[in-house]
Chains A and B, each alone.
Chain A
């Protein structure tokens, strides 16, 4: 082994050691930043800031602390970028960026690292997206409640669902949020469906312009249920429901195709 090789080995070992020592500090900075980024409510942000710092302290392992912090950063970025993409605001990012240089550095580092973490598929919440299609939009396949899209949601379209035939089982609604620029399907039961076993509801949305679909499956339990979203900025979206009753080919009911601009407020 050459002298250069030995020197490189020693230097890299020192670098790793330094990185490990810096990790807890960086992790605390990152979770604080994540809390401020994620929560618009400043009181909750401050509370979570301290709480997450305590969580990082409790987490054993220096590098694990950093990984945990990056997971929080990735989640916060995901929530925030979803809102920015929907055209809500970028003000919070600017405020956070201007608070201190340390926070700004932590922000940039965590954005880069979090993007890397997302790319290598580190598990993040809000699974069960079930999206297919050629164009990816930030809201595609997301849970509208998690994304805070339900507050301004309006029913744009609705269609009756009969199960068994001749018996009104409920209404399939296309819910649209102009705030999020996205739509999703919701099934509101009219009465309990008579079945001797659970019925599987497939509540899907489709965007014909690029053949995108977001699917969601849930067993009926007599409550209203909603599916995942598709962005409607690049084309209209319609909802469809299929109630699996054990028939070979269950019938599907769908709404008309609509966008936020066609919503009747």
Chain B
């Protein structure tokens, strides 16, 4: 069985990409950074992983050939990615909600146990 590890940042990026996909938008890196309020290296590390899994596909901005400006890259969620991201969010976001509920229970029972933020796997 292959172990997977999911961070809160990954969930944020997945949620953002799914929302964009639902609105037929193909965001570029800077839009994803702004939308998720995550740093550039974090976002691009996640985009690397999603691309490796085949969850997203990048396509270059069409540009005037004489332009010397660097091209932006837009990301589209693949059908496989949409399924994977939805499953990921369904399982992990609901787990996060359960985390909060159980943390309150633990506190009221006098436990000092603290859960690390962004419970990743």
Which A positions have Cβ atoms within 8 angstroms of B? 44, 47-48, 50-55, 57-59, 68, 71-72, 74-76, 123-125, 127-128, 130, 143, 145-146, 186, 188, 197-198, 200, 215-219, 221, 223-226, 244
Verify B3–A224 contact, CB threshold 8 A.
Answer: yes
| Most chain A C-beta atoms within 10 Å of own C-beta, residue among B29, B30, B41 | B41
Residues of chain B within 8 A of A223, CB atoms compared: 1, 3-4, 121
Given A188-B1, A219-B99; A128-B7 close (CB under 8 Å): yes
Verify A197–B70 contact, CB threshold 8 A.
Answer: no
Residues of chain B within 8 A of A51, CB atoms compared: 29, 70-73
Q: How far is the CB of A244 from chain B (nearest CB, A)?
A: 7
Q: How far is the CB of B56 from chain A (nearest CB, A)?
A: 13
Besides A50-B70, A127-B117, 11 other CB < 8 A contacts?
Answer: A52-B44, A53-B70, A55-B28, A55-B40, A58-B72, A125-B41, A125-B45, A130-B116, A145-B3, A198-B102, A223-B1
Verify B98–A197 contact, CB threshold 8 A.
Answer: yes
Q: How far is the CA of A197 from the CA of B48 in the complex (A)?
A: 34
Which B positions have Cβ atoms within 8 angstroms of A? 1-5, 7, 9, 28-30, 33, 39-42, 44-45, 48, 58, 61, 69-73, 91, 95, 98-99, 102, 113, 115-121
| Most chain A C-beta atoms within 10 Å of own C-beta, residue among B3, B5, B113 | B3
